[in-house]
Amino acid sequence: MSTPSSAGGKPITAQEAADVVRRIRAAVGRVIVGQDEVIEQVMWGLVAGGHVLLEGAPGLGKTLLVRALAAAVELRFSRIQFTPDLMPSDVTGTHMLVEDAGAAGARGRRFVLQEGPIFAQVVLADEINRATPKTQSALLEAMQEHAVTLAGERHALEEPFYVLATENPIEMEGTYPLPEAQLDRFLFKVMVPSPSEDELVSVLGRTTGREAKLPEPVIRAEELMLVRDACRDVAIAEPILRYAARLSRACDPTMPEAPAIVRRAVRVGAGVRAAQALVLGAKAAALAAGRMHAAFEDVQRVAKPALRHRMIRSFEGEADGIAAEAIVDGVLAAIPARPAEVSREVAASRAE
């Protein structure tokens, strides 16, 4: 199950990292029908060490996808079903007062930490937008700091730590919009489409017979951490960094780079985390392809999942039904990837 170079904590090569990604994707693909693009984007988030928000109607296999991923990587899995009456302590845990037998039979009391479901390695936050914003915000510290503070004491979470949240379309009854600060903590927002006719036929064949088993583990947590380390080491030239910066700035209607569709349809634009998501996502996409350098095309491939949830539409944008994907398409069309001078700089950096 291990790659030779992963033994002893040695760095792995790009090809070995790509092989790890391929094995995980193949294991998940044996359980999930279709959804190749969704699986690929979830894999990018796993490699980059960021969290992923999955949006789609109920019954499209989002929960099964997360369970299959956790099984393939042999990580501790936990599921939190978000409901309107869920409390923050139901997510993070709490301290309980218990009786404790002391010396000479004396009895005392002490507080014991009762860990919540957030204390896992792969956490499925199911239907996250059915809970109140206060409960949704209980995830903020865990997602950003990989730790939970209870009663003034900080508890580190076990690595690798990966949150995959599912949400129903906001137009559905009984949903709450996610706070902007929490949306920004997700590296990607991945849209889960309805299956095609052929895929639906295959789903029906699999799900109406005997219950399908989750995949067997194909890698260990230590190997995944090596892949994440390799992702951070992927080289990215300054012109490509500038391209990511220009794209994120163009998503802000107050910036001069913003195209007409952004000024018209966006009220609050993307921030610094958007540019970071573009760069980290591009590195993950390059590594998954077996390369130790990111390209302009990698930034473009991750643009939609990295940017679509970081722009708040204006009243005019909502009234006209302008989708986030259309806004990102407009930004990509307006910001050139390779001006003549940029092409020369990239060629020179690769020649060095």
pLDDT in tens, 205-247: 777 767 777 888 898 888 999 999 999 999 999 999 999 999 9
- Chain centroid, CA 323 distance in Å: 21
Domains for the chain: give ranges and CATH numbers: 1-83+117-232 (3.40.50.300), 234-352 (1.10.8.80)
Least confident of 122-131, 280-289, 335-344: 335-344
Q: How many residues does the chain have?
A: 352
- Chain centroid, CA 117 distance in Å: 18
Terminal Cα-to-Cα distance of the chain (whole angstroms): 37
- Give Cβ neighbours of residue 316 (< 8 Å, ≥ 6 apart): 264, 265
**pLDDT computed for residue 350 by the predictor:** 47
pTM (2 d.p.):
0.84
Q: Is 128 helix (H, G, I), strand (E, B) or coil?
A: helix
**pLDDT computed for residue 190 by the predictor:** 93
Give the DSSP letter string of 76-112: -EEEEE--TT--HHHHHEEEEEEEEE-GGG-EEEEEE
Give the DSSP letter string of 317-330: HHHTT--HHHHHHH
Mean pLDDT of 87-114: 72
Q: How far apart are CA 180 and CA 178, in angstroms?
A: 6
Q: The tokens of 41 are what?
A: 């984007």
Q: How far apart are CA 67 and CA 215, in angstroms?
A: 9
Q: Scanning the structure block, which residue is given the tokens 């700089």? A: 345
pLDDT in tens, 51-76: 999 988 877 888 888 888 988 988 88
Q: Is 130 helix (H, G, I), strand (E, B) or coil?
A: helix
The C-alpha R_g of the chain, in whole angstroms, comes to: 22
Alpha-helix runs per DSSP H in the chain: 14-29, 36-48, 62-73, 88-92, 133-136, 140-145, 180-183, 197-207, 221-232, 238-250, 260-265, 272-288, 296-307, 315-319, 324-334, 340-351
